[in-house]
Amino acid sequence: MKRTVRHLADGREIIYFDDSPNPPDRTATDTRDLPPQESASQIRRDPLTGEWVAIAAHRQTRTYKPPAGLCPLCPSSPGRATEIPESDYDVVVFENRFPSFSETVHGVEARDGLVTIRPGRGRCEVVCFTSDHNKSFGELSPRRVRTVVDAWADRTEALSGVPGVEQVFPFENRGEEIGVTLSHPHGQIYGYPFVTPKTERMLQTAQAYLDAHGRPVLGDVLAAEQADGRRMLVSSEHWSAFVPAAARWPVEVHVVPHRQVPDLPALSGAERDDFAQLYLQVLALLDGLYDKPLPYIAAWHQAPVRTGRDLAWLHLEVFSVLRTADKLKYLAGSESGMAVWINDATPEDIAAKLRAGAVSQSNP
């Protein structure tokens, strides 16, 4: 893989990850007249929960559902300059033009009554998986998925070194039902200036379980799912995918490496190759559930930069708000108001339906 670093017209960094044979030199320049990037992001600590909330009002002006001919993530063409100056690319990562967190935000810590306010320092990047606007992640080749994994790992290392970043979160949103406003196949990476509430809770649980049993909790969960088998979907030499027994979402799959590692950079080459093959199988199962592209969020759970690295166990959570082929799961009173989830289907039933889709695909 060839890695090339360039810069856009407003100074933002763009990085090309080329896996094609004889990759071209990335020499195209951004010809747009862009103003210098400015961000006024803040984080405010909720005195009732202790959780940080990001305030990023400048994001109201970000690009919203443009037609395919005006997609800012497609390659540039004569007469139309986009976020990617080159006429083609394999995988590309660039700093978000409308970031929730930014390295350039100014200010110091302050207080507004009981509320602590800090600059929203961090970094947000966009990851384009392919230059083909009409493809999806599940249609990528295993080789291309491996390149994406290498890009995620590269950026995790880089963002972990950004001053103030405490956690790095790669993710993909797919489908309008999820809230996607750019249909080009892409994901994002957030460098948070705090450890997220979900990760804090998971680390607390992992520590309590380790203290009580002397073993990592996800390792025991993985072994139990493999032994039980009812919720297992696919397994390989280095990874397993299953529907968790306490699934919150109508469709939810966890993809877990068999070896405890804290983050993506810690994966071996063999583990990265194996993930590429298995994850494409998982995505095929998801799209086969309702015989149409499934809207989903794919969220990587990694160890924070400075805490809990011996407790965390890297894994990918893929979930969907689609509870039937034509019905959405709305996060109403219990979920939104109290964070108490109510699932309309059993995890065992969903796992069986996903496996049945695999059988029907193999026997048309």
- Whether the CB-CB separation of 269 and 146 falls below 8 Å is answered with no
213 annotated ligand binder: no
128 annotated ligand binder: no
Nearest to 104 by CA among 156, 40, 53, 169: 40
254 annotated ligand binder: no
71 annotated ligand binder: yes
In this structure, what is the dihedral angle of CA atoms 144, 148, 153, 157, given to the nearest 10 degrees?
Answer: 130
Burial class (CB within 10 angstroms; exposed 0-12, middle 13-18, buried 19+) of 136: middle
Can you tell me which residue has the tokens 């001053």?
163
Please tell me whether residue 334 adopts helix, strand or coil conformation.
helix
What's the CA gap between 337 and 346, in Å, rounded? Answer: 23
Can you tell me which residue has the tokens 């063999």?
270
Burial class (CB within 10 angstroms; exposed 0-12, middle 13-18, buried 19+) of 154: middle
Active site residue 106: no
What's the CA gap between 218 and 129, in Å, rounded? Answer: 29
Supply the DSSP symbol for 138: G
Angle value at C-alpha 18, between 300 and 255, nearest 5 degrees: 20
What's the CA gap between 104 and 68, in Å, rounded? Answer: 31
> Which is it for the CA torsion 255, 261, 265, 269, positive or negative?
negative
**Helices 347-362/269-289 angle, 10° precision:** 90
The active-site residue, picked from 7, 58, 106, 186, is 186
Residues identified as active-site = 186
* Known binding-site positions: 71, 74, 133, 184
* Known binding-site positions for Zn(2+): 71, 74, 133, 184
